[in-house]
Structures are given as C-alpha cells and as structure tokens.
Amino acid sequence: MTETLCPECGSERTDFNKVCPACGAPPAPEHRVGESPAGVRGHDLEPYVTLRYIAKLFKVLAVLIIIMLFGEILTGLLIDGTTAVVTLLGEGTRLLVMAGLLWAGGDLALLMIDAGHDLRVARILLGRINAQMHRGEPGAGLLPEDQARGAGVGAGAGRGAGPPAAR
C-alpha cells in the first residue's frame, strides 16, 4: 500500500504530481513511500547551503582584515615609529569598521536562514491545521473553549454563570 498523505499537512492527496488541494504544497515527484507526515522533513529546512557559505565567508574575511590590521600596525610602528601613529589610528578605525560590517553581514545571513526556517515550519504547521480542520478531527477547534463545549451544544453554551436555577 502506498502512502497517500501529503507530507506537509497530512491530508489525503491522491496525486503527488499536482498541488495539494488542502495546503497548496507544490508537486512532489520525489515523494518517498512510507515517509511520515508527523515531523518536519530535513530537506524542508536545509535549502540554505549557499547562505551558510556566505555567512562563513564574511566572517572569515572579517578575521583576515583584523589580522591584516595587526600586521599593518606592527609594520608601521617598526618602519616609521611614533610618527605613523595618527595614520595608523585612521587606518585601524577604517579596517575595524569594515571587519565589523563583514561580521554583521555574516550574522544577517544566518538570521535570514533562521527566518526562512521559521516561515517554512509555520507554513507546514498551518497546512496541517487546515487539513485537520477540514477532516473534522476532534480537538480541531481554534479556541480552547471550542474543545470544552463539544460539537452538539447550542449557541448560548458557555455564556452564563451556571445552570439557569443558579442565576
């Protein structure tokens, strides 16, 4: 028996070559038999390999600039002595700012990865909630009082301060 559940929302999906009618998941020609819809799949969270490399590249460049700064200060002091201090302070400040901007760029790339993960997970979970609500499963109510009231209770349930005799 092949699995006919959408891997993103868990609803019935007859054709994996078409968009899922419940959650709008894209066609999945690479669908694997037996894959559990319960967890978030690893390949949903890891398409950000390039951003990781960019973050590492920016941080490595920031470290290289700091190393070059130390070399420049050491060389300037050895060659020109104390007369180069003012020039070295200006150059040092410029290189420190550049290294800080590169490091911040690497952190921003990592932040973009985390934000992308959050968006993907939220989309998957919303699809699952949508599918669960459309199937009418128990506990699919949006509000906590929907679960406590039950499905067959009238519209005025839960509004009063108790039974009519106690009011």
Cβ contact 127:7 at 8 Å: no
> What is the structure's pLDDT at 16?
72
Cβ contact 91:80 at 8 Å: no
Note the pLDDT tens digit of each residue in 47-82: 677 788 888 999 999 999 999 999 999 999 999 888
CB burial of 8-30 (b: ≥16 within 10 Å; e: otherwise) equals bbbbebeebeeebebbebeebee
Cβ contact 120:45 at 8 Å: yes
> Whose CA is closest to 109, among 119, 99, 101?
101
Q: Is the pTM of this model over 0.75?
A: no
